[in-house]
Structure 1
Amino acid sequence: MSAVYINSASCISVQDTLKENFFQDLKADQSAQILKAVEPNYKEFIPPAMSRRMSKTVKMSSVASHHALKEAGIEQPDAIIVGTGMGCSQDSEKFLKNVIDNKEEFLTPTFFIQSTHNTVAGQIALGLQCHAYNFTYVNTSSSLEFSFLDAKLQINDGEADNILVGAADEQTNRTMELYCLNNTIKKEEDLPADYLHSETDGVIWGEGAAFFVLGKEKTENSYAKLKDIQIINRLDIEEVPSFIADFLAKNNVKHEDIDVVILGFSSDAASDVYYAKAMDVFQNSALLYYKHLSGEFNTASGFSIFMACHILKEQQIPGVMRINPEKKAEIRNILLYNHLAGSDHNLTLLERA
C-alpha cells in the first residue's frame, strides 16, 4: 500500500486548540461533570443568518474543516468523510420536543431534516460547492477510525488525492440529564476525578470537532504518516496484549519501536482496566493520556489524533499529558489506543512524516 499523509489538522475542543502555541495553555478540569467546547467567533466564518439555523456540531465542524483545508492549501477535496457518534442531537431533541408540545400536529420539518447524522458532511459540501464522494460513519467510538480507513483505501486505490476527514459530537441538555441518571456521567460526590487511578465508575463528558486533510503526497506541512488502523468491537482484558502485538507485527513494528503511546483513560474504573493492561506492554515508551483535557465522548479520539500530530511535528510532549517520565531523543512512532465503555476498541499507528 502507498503512504497516506496527514497534511493538516484542526480541532475545536474543551481546550483553545484553534490558537497557535496552545501546548503551553493546556489545562485539565477534573471537577466538572460536563465540559463545554471553547467555541470560536462563528461570525468570522459563517453568515449570522445561516449560523442561527445551524446546530453546534455543524458550526464547529464548518470552522474546523475550514481551518484544515486552508492549512493544507486545498480548495476542493476529492471526498468528504465525517464520523460522529451522536450526530446533530440538538436538532433531534428540538424535533422530538415539538412532536410532544404540538401533540404530533402542525410540525415544521426543519429540525427533522437537520437532525440526521449526515447533516455535517452535507453542510460542509454545500459550503464548498463540492459534489464529490460524501459519506458519514456512525460507529460510536470508532466513527473517526472508520472514516480514516475509508479515506486510506480510496487514496491507496487511486480514487482520490486529498480527502477531508473529520469527526464531531455535541452535548444536549436532555441527553446529559439521561447520562447523569444512568451514571454514564460521574456523580458529583465522586469528583474531582482521578483519571489514572479511579475507583469510581462514570466519566466527565466533553464535546468537540476535529478535521484533517489526508493526502497521497507529502507536503511541507505534513504532520504524520497514517500507517494503519485496527478496530474490534469486543475484547477480553486478557486479549489486550495479543491485540496490540498482532497489530504491531502486521505493520513490521516492534514494541520498542513505539516511542509514544496515547491511552484513553477516562476515569471510569470499570473500563480503564484495558488501558492499565496496555501500559504493561510498553515498558520503555512514553505513556500519555488525554481525556482529562478533552472529556469523554464518542469521537474523543479526534482530539488524541490531533495532539499526536502536533507531538510528531513539534517533537515535544506537553507535561500535562504524561503518565511516566520516559523521554525520547526523537519521536518517530505513536500508537493510540481508545475505546468507549469497554466497546469498540481501536488502535491507530502514526509515523513521523
Structure 2
Amino acid sequence: MSIVYINSAACISVQDTLSENFSEHLKPENSTQVLKAIEPNYKEFIPPAMIRRMSKTVKMSSVASTLALKEAGIEKPDSIIVGTGMGCSQDSEKFLKNVLENNEEFLTPTFFIQSTHNTVAGQIALGLQCHGYNFTYVNTSSALEFSLLDAKLQILDGEAENVLVGSTDEKTDRIMELYQLSNTIKKEENLPSDYLNSKTEGVIWGEGSSFFVLGKDKNESSYAQLKDIQITNKLESDETEKFIREFLVKNNLKNEEIDAVILGFSGDSKSDIYYKKASELFQNSSLLYYKHLSGEFNTASGFSTFMACHILKNQEIPEVMMINDIKKDEIKNVLLYNHLKGDDHSLILLEKT
C-alpha cells in the first residue's frame, strides 16, 4: 500500500510555536482559566484591508496554512480540508448580537456569511485560487482526525497528490462564559490545575490553528508517515485497553514497539481516567502529555500532531512533555490518543520517515 507523508507542519498556539527554537521555550500554563493564542503580525501575511474583515480563526488559519504550504514547497494544493469544533464563533456571536440589538431588522449579512464553519476553508481557497476539493469537518474533538483520514484516502485513491489539512478553533467571550456556567472550564478556586493527578472536574481552555501538507511523495521537509487513524464516538473506560490493542494489532505492532505515546491529559478528573488506563499499556514507552502547553479545546489534537511531527523529525522529546523518564535511542513509532470530556476518542499513528 502507498505511503502518505506529512511534508510540513505549522501551528499557532498559546505557545510561540512559530519561532524556530520554540521547543526550548515551552511554558506550562496551569493557573489561568482561558488561554490566548500568541498571534503573529498579520500584516506580514495578509493585506490590511482584508484583516479588518477576518475573524481571529480565519486570520490564524490563513497564516498557518501559508506557512505550511511554503515549507512543503507547494503553491496550490489539490485539496483543502479543515477540521473545526466551533467554527467562526466570533462572527456568530457578532451576528446574533446584531439580531438582538436591531430587533431583527436592517441586518448586514457580512457576519452571518462569515459565521459558517466552512468559512476558513473557503477563505484559504479564495486566496490561493484553488478550485479543487474543499471540505470542512465539524466533529467536535475528532474534526482533525476525520480531515486527516479524508486526505489520506484521497492520496491513496489517486485523487490528489498534495492535500492541505488544518484544524482551528478560537475562544470567544460569550462561549467562555457559558463554559464556565456549565463547569466545563475549571473554577478559580481549583487552580492551579494538576494535569496528571487532578481531583477536580473542568479544564483550562485554549485555542489555536494547526496546518499540515500531506503528500504521496517524501521530500526534504517531510516530518513523518501517517500510518493509520482510528475514531470512535463512545467508549467505556474499561474498553480503553481493547480499543488501543485492536488498533495496534491492525497495524502489526506490539505495545513495546511504540516508542512514544502522547496522551491528552486535560486536568479533568472525570475524563482523564481514559488516559490513565491507556498509560498502563505502555510501561516501556515514553509517556507524554501536552494540554498543559496548549489548553483544552475541540481541535487541541492539532497541537499534539504538530509536536509529534517535530519529535519524529528531530528525534528529541521536550522535557516539559515527559510523564515518565523513559527515552528510547530511536523514536520510530508515535501514538497519539485524544478525546474531549470522554467522547470522540481518536488514535493517530505516526512513523519516522
What's the TM-score bracket when you normalise by the shorter of the two chains?
over 0.9
Partners of 1:335 and 1:29 lie apart in 2 by 24
Partners of 1:76 and 1:52 lie apart in 2 by 25
**1:82-119 superposed Cα distances (whole Å, 9 cap, x missing partner):** 00000000000000000000000111100000000000
Query: What residue is the counterpart of 2:225 in the other structure?
Result: 225
One-letter amino acid matched to 1:32? T
**1:105-151 superposed Cα distances (whole Å, 9 cap, x missing partner):** 11110000000000000000000011111000000000000000000
The 5 A counterparts of 1:7-46 are 7-46=7-46
Q: Does 1:277 align with 2:277?
A: yes
The 5 A counterparts of 1:182-193 are 182-193=182-193
Partners of 1:256 and 1:137 lie apart in 2 by 33
Query: What residue is the counterpart of 2:261 in the other structure?
Result: 261
The 5 A counterparts of 1:155-174 are 155-174=155-174
Query: What residue is the counterpart of 1:195 in the other structure?
Result: 195
Query: What residue is the counterpart of 1:114 in the other structure?
Result: 114
Q: CA RMSD in A?
A: 0.4
Deviation at 1:157, TM superposition (A): 0.2
Displacement over 2 Å in runs of 4+ = none
Deviation at 1:220, TM superposition (A): 1.1
Query: What residue is the counterpart of 1:48 in the other structure?
Result: 48
| SS of corresponding position for 1:180 | helix
Percent identity among equivalent residues? Answer: 76
Query: What residue is the counterpart of 2:237 in the other structure?
Result: 237
Partners of 1:127 and 1:264 lie apart in 2 by 34
Query: What residue is the counterpart of 1:96 in the other structure?
Result: 96
Partners of 2:131 and 2:100 lie apart in 1 by 37
Partners of 2:302 and 2:345 lie apart in 1 by 14
Query: What residue is the counterpart of 2:4 in the other structure?
Result: 4
Query: TM-score normalized by structure 1?
Result: 1.00
Query: What residue is the counterpart of 1:180 in the other structure?
Result: 180
| SS of corresponding position for 2:35 | coil
Partners of 1:5 and 1:296 lie apart in 2 by 27
Partners of 1:49 and 1:297 lie apart in 2 by 30
| SS of corresponding position for 1:30 | coil
Deviation at 1:193, TM superposition (A): 0.1
Provide the aligned length of Structure 1 versus Structure 2: 353
Q: Does 1:295 align with 2:318?
A: no
Query: What residue is the counterpart of 2:310 in the other structure?
Result: 310
| SS of corresponding position for 1:194 | coil
Partners of 1:278 and 1:288 lie apart in 2 by 12
Deviation at 1:328, TM superposition (A): 0.4
Q: Which ranges of structure 1 fall in alignment gaps of 5 or more residues? A: none
Q: Does 1:206 align with 2:200?
A: no
Partners of 1:133 and 1:316 lie apart in 2 by 36
